Structure 1
Amino acid sequence: MAEHSSNNVVPLHGDDRILDEASRWLVKLDNGLSQQDVTALKLWLRTPVHQDTFLEVAALWDKMEVLSKLAEIVPAPRSQRSVMRPVAIAASFLCVALLGWLGLSAWQPPSQSIATVQFENALSTKVGEMRELILSDGSKLTLNTNTQVAVTYTDHQRLIELKQGELHIEVAKDNRRPLSVIADGQIIQAVGTAFNVEWVNNTLDLLVTEGRVRVAQQSAPITSLRESVDVRLPGNSLSVSQGHRTTLSEPVKTVRRVDEAELNAGVSWQTGKLIFRGESLADVVREVSRYTTLSIELGDASLANIQVAGLFNANDIDGLLAALADNFPLRYEHTSPHTVIIQSL
């Protein structure tokens, strides 16, 4: 396998639905297709944009070699596609075709001291945007509003650095390669589980929705972790199991159990909903502000401690403000195209 530099980031250009379909097909192709799958994949690939996106995702995941398994299914790239995609994709496809023709294998043993990078990419969302992605191992990664992550997969481990924002990950089980989320100097590690990590306003919150994770202090720079062949956390690391949460940014970490309502509220953003269960209006304004470029301000300090409960659409800020005005003694005013002030009546 060819070596890849840390700058090997391939942008994706398709829409989210087609990208998700292409990702799922690639995972299936890598794991083996049934005859029914083969028929369905042939039908799906009849659409040119599906072919383009499929090859683009394969190049991103460094999975072009799997196409040689079903060369009769995957059409050769049309000549005009070279204008639309990076030259590297066409070159990778040609390389696979030549290897298949010569009967050679692309596999080379990994280095004994430095892990071989198999996949690396930077992913992000804009304010008010949410993204759902299927990673090369089959893990499902969902990014909330205004989030930035760096994903690095090597032959020994899976690393996701959360630089800002919030993510939820459903980890595909791989006992050989634990998956680690790194944020604010903490390492959250799992083999096959699901959990939510939120890093907003210098607070790092962990909510485990399935299975169990381990947490430890990050002891080496992220660059060293990428090159390491083993970052498994010790057995005495902090353990957090399903239905529990903890604030990792606190010096003394307290793990507490949450009820089903709090668990659902913690991941409701994945469906575009915001659930409040008695939070103060000040906290509600801080949370809602993550989903809009509007500056929402409390013009009256006496409003800060009003308790708010309800379910709101994250992309309907005006509807949320109207609901607050209908239920509490307050009003709101757009003082400029980018500013809203909430005042007492």
Structure 2
Amino acid sequence: MTREILAEAAVWVTRLHGPERSRAMERECLAWQAQSTAHRLAFERCTDTWQEVGGLSRAQIQAAVGKRRSAGSLRGRAGRVAVGLAMLCLAAVSVVLLWPGHTYGTGVGEQRMIILADGSRMTLNTSTEARVRLTDSQRTVTVEHGEALFEVAKDAGRPFVVKVADAQVVATGTQFLVRSTPPAEVAGDAFGITLIEGQVTVQRSAGSAHGVPEAPVVMAPGERLRVALSLSAARQAPAQIRLDRPQLDRLLAWNRGFVMLDGTTLPEAVAEMNRYSRVPITLRDQETLNALRISGTFRTGDNNAFAQAVARLFDLVVTLRDGGLELASK
């Protein structure tokens, strides 16, 4: 059980004992606990702490712990649990607030929801890394690579800034999606920002000649801002931005464990499925297969089922090769 999980558990307990408790919040908490045994035990530990210490103030708890350390005056299980777990739970909350920064990440096929100390939620998709820094004046998250869904707690005095590539997204209380692709892997968009609700302002710092900042873009709900990076200019500033209105259900399907495809070319569909699996799919006979398009909903991480479905649909052959799956014409 890590300090990080304990910190998240402490925030959950605090929120559930607050005035904004709701059935939706309870369901989200249960989903958080279901992520692992460590999550469940951390929640139980912080709940026990809350019940044990009752009306004790933080100063009283700290004084009691100091007394215990210096004189060993507290004896028995009740004393150890009431003081030890109280400090563990409350210190966990303090750790999130006081750390100068922390990096969160997910592996291939992993998804993770993190509750920040300000109450904001950050849900990381597969193969994602994000750095968080919370101060008294600003809340900052840097998405190094991957995809993250942000549900920002309102705090007019502390803007919530998400940095991705050469841009930053500024919000005070809203919900939006950020997806970033490392330069070495770019085949289309370098990054994309989708606003689900509320309002955000996107400012690029080096999108125009001579590094002159571009005019900020104020996005409306339902809009997606995308920045493409041409392969011939991989080390230069990304091209101009594009705005469109995608199907939000399709973009957020990963949060439910699915990939939704709608007339997607087979290479693009394979690339998307490969994000969630350590059993990659490759294509042989590129000239023939590149023209194929596929629609449907597929479970993330199940590349075998996807490959078999595509093979049946287009009369292809699936072969096990080098630890992965190869799709080829008959």
* Structure 1: stretches of 5+ with no match in the other structure: 1-9, 35-46, 57-65, 83-88, 97-115, 220-233
CA separation of 1:333 and 1:92: change in aligned 2, threshold 3 A? same
Whole-Å separation in 1 of the counterparts to 2:243 and 2:59:
47
Distance 1:247 1:281 in 2: 22
2:262 paired with 1:277 = yes
Pairing 1:267–2:246 present = no
Distance 1:254 1:33, change over 3 A: closer
- Higher relative CO (CA 8 A, sep ≥ 6), structure 1 or 2? 1
Q: Secondary structure at the match of 1:319?
A: helix
Distance between the aligned counterparts of 1:341 and 1:48, measured in 2?
42
Shift of 1:24: 1.9
Distance 1:285 1:67, change over 3 A: farther
Match for 1:23: what amino acid?
A: V
Give the equivalent residue in structure 2 for 1:167: 148
Within a 5 Å distance, the mapping from 1:1-345 to structure 2 comes to: 11-12=2-3, 14=5, 22-28=10-16, 49-50=42-43, 52=45, 68=58, 77-78=80-81, 120-200=101-181, 201-202=185-186, 203-218=190-205, 237-249=216-228, 250-258=238-246, 262-301=247-286, 302-336=288-322, 338-345=323-330
State the number of aligned residues.
264
Identity %: 25
Q: Which runs of 4+ in 1 moved over 6 A?
A: 79-82
Over 3 Å counting, the alpha-carbon distance change for 1:54 and 1:156 in structure 2 is farther
Distance 1:292 1:33, change over 3 A: closer
Match of 1:325, as an amino acid?
Answer: A
For structure 1, which segment, 172-181 or 320-329, has the greater mean C-alpha deviation from structure 2 after superposition?
320-329
Return 318-327 or 304-313, whichever deviates more.
Answer: 318-327
Helix, strand or coil at the partner of 1:152:
strand
* Cα gap change, 1:300 to 1:239, in 2 (>3 Å): same
CA-CA distance at 1:166 after TM superposition? 0.4
Offset, 1:263: 1.2
| 8 Å contact kept, 1:132–1:142 | yes
* Whole-Å separation in 2 of the counterparts to 1:255 and 1:305: 26
Question: Could you say if the C-alpha distance between residues 55 and 187 of structure 1 is closer, same or farther in structure 2, counting changes exceeding 3 Å?
Answer: farther
Is the Cα–Cα contact under 8 Å of residues 152 and 159 in structure 1 kept in the other structure? yes
Partner of 1:60: none
| Structure with the bigger percentage of helix | 2
Give a deviation string over 1:190-220, Cα, whole Å, max 9, x none.
111111111123420111111121111247x
Q: Distance in 2 between matches of 1:240 and 1:125?
A: 28
Deviation at 1:11, TM superposition (A): 4.3
Aligned partners of 1:133, 1:247: CA distance in 2, in Å?
A: 25
Note if contact 2:195-2:219 (Cα within 8 Å) is conserved in structure 1. yes
Deviation, structure 1 residue 78: 3.6
Residues 312 and 170 from structure 1, CA distance in 2 versus in 1: closer, same or farther, beyond 3 angstroms?
same
